[in-house]
Amino acid sequence: MVRLNILDYSPIDEGVNARQALLQTTELAKHAEKLGYHRFWVAEHHHVLSVAGSSPEMLMMHVATSTKHIRIGSGGVMLPHHSPYKVAENFRLLEALHPHRIDLGIGRSPSYQIVNRALNETKGKRLAYEQQVQDVYKFLSDDTSTSHRFNSLTATPVIETKPEMWMLGTGTGGAKIAAKNGMAYVFAHFANPSETSLEAIDSYRQQFKPSLLLDKPKVMIAVFAIIAETAEAAEELAKAFDLWLLSVESDNPPPYYPSVQTAKKRGMSSVEQEKVMQNRKRMIIGNAQEVKEEIQQIANLYEADEITIIPNFPGARNRMKGIALLAETFGLDQT
């Protein structure tokens, strides 16, 4: 059976502040662990005022300390904003304190232009993304078999175990980099469910080269999922999610995740409605059995090893309930 994971954005619900949102993420992780989910990842978002998850490494340390055995990871670290050496050290430190539990998911989201300027203001020439990926791999694996400009440099702490390294991608570009560097691959179905999806996964498997971190290809598919006791209740939550997706792409997004009540009160223009219909292709909505069936279809289509759901719908209680319903329907090994 396909493994199930969770990626949480730490949404700041209407009437909730950022501290409460981060504590809700911690409680969701503890709940996911008891329910039998395999991984719990957190995200890196900047200048999205309705989301509290801006520093995955920091939040991961807190969540890992608050849980016992579930794998904790980043979905993901946006590598163009960071030093590969520092990323490797951060995740080695996490792995040292929580061995066999840490995942490094990396990506290259372009983010807002002002965010890119602020995070890279004092930097000179920027490295190519693929070079950054290779650098992180070198520092995590201690690979000195090839020529590298930092072959004499070791990322500390020196530890016996290694974090898992995952490449997040939406097309063939990221898939090829993951394959070339012997990394596991996450296809972001929630961002770009296109006709090239299967092509990306096929190219990854065909071109995969074993590495010191991974000996055979491993594929994860990430999807937005909205789960409730009934399809009607899930659709109510989805309307709030529709509004949130529209708001984060607007000029003046609110500093909170809209409630179901707020979504009901607000009308939508024909242009917005058309955008909502496009966004609906990025998500699974329904009761637990309906969501399970769609997840299985996606898993079978991509021959995925794992599926990660993003339960980014309003209300901490709704999220807790939704992942519990799905865990029960899948028959996860609950503790």
pLDDT at position 253 is: 81
Residue 305 in any domain: the answer is: yes
Supply the pLDDT for residue 122: 84
Whether 249 maps to a domain, the answer reads no
**pLDDT tens track for 284-334:** 999 999 999 999 999 999 999 999 999 999 999 999 999 999 999 999 988
Q: How many domains does the chain have?
A: 1
Say if residues 209 and 175 touch (Cβ distance below 8 Å). no
Q: Which structural domain range is residue 34 located in? A: 3-234+284-330
pLDDT in tens, 81-106: 999 999 999 999 999 999 999 999 99
pLDDT of residue 93: 98
Return the pLDDT at 267: 83
Residue 263 counted as domain residue: no
Cα distance between residue 65 and residue 14, in whole Å = 28
Domain-embedded: residue 260:
no
Contact, 323 vs 70, CB < 8 A?
A: no
Q: Residue 255 falls within a domain, yes or no?
A: no
Nearest CA-CA partner of 91 in 17, 35, 41, 150: 41
Domain annotation covers residue 315 = yes
The CATH number that applies at residue 112 is 3.20.20.30
Is it the case that residue 194 has pLDDT exceeding 80? no
Determine the pLDDT at residue 251.
72
Q: What is the mean pLDDT of residues 161-177?
A: 94
**CA distance linking residue 206 with residue 231, whole number of Å:** 39
Contact 68, 35 (CB under 8 A): no
Please answer whether residues 254 and 240 qualify as being in contact, where contact means their C-beta atoms are separated by less than 8 angstroms. Answer: no
pLDDT of residue 249: 80
Least Cα distance to 43 among 88, 111, 112, 105 occurs for 105
pLDDT (tens digit, 9 = 90+) per residue, 262-272? 999 988 889 99
Tens-place pLDDT, residues 216-251: 999 999 999 999 999 999 999 999 999 999 998 887
β-partners of residue 312 are: none
Q: What is the pLDDT of residues 10-26, one digit of tens each?
A: 999 999 999 999 999 99
* Distance in angstroms (rounded) separating the CA atoms of residues 321 and 137: 38
- C-alpha to C-alpha distance for 308 and 39, rounded to whole angstroms: 8
Q: Is the pLDDT of residue 256 over 80?
A: yes
Strands (E), the chain: 3-8, 39-42, 71-74, 77-78, 102-107, 164-169, 184-188, 219-228, 283-287, 306-310
Any domain includes 292: yes
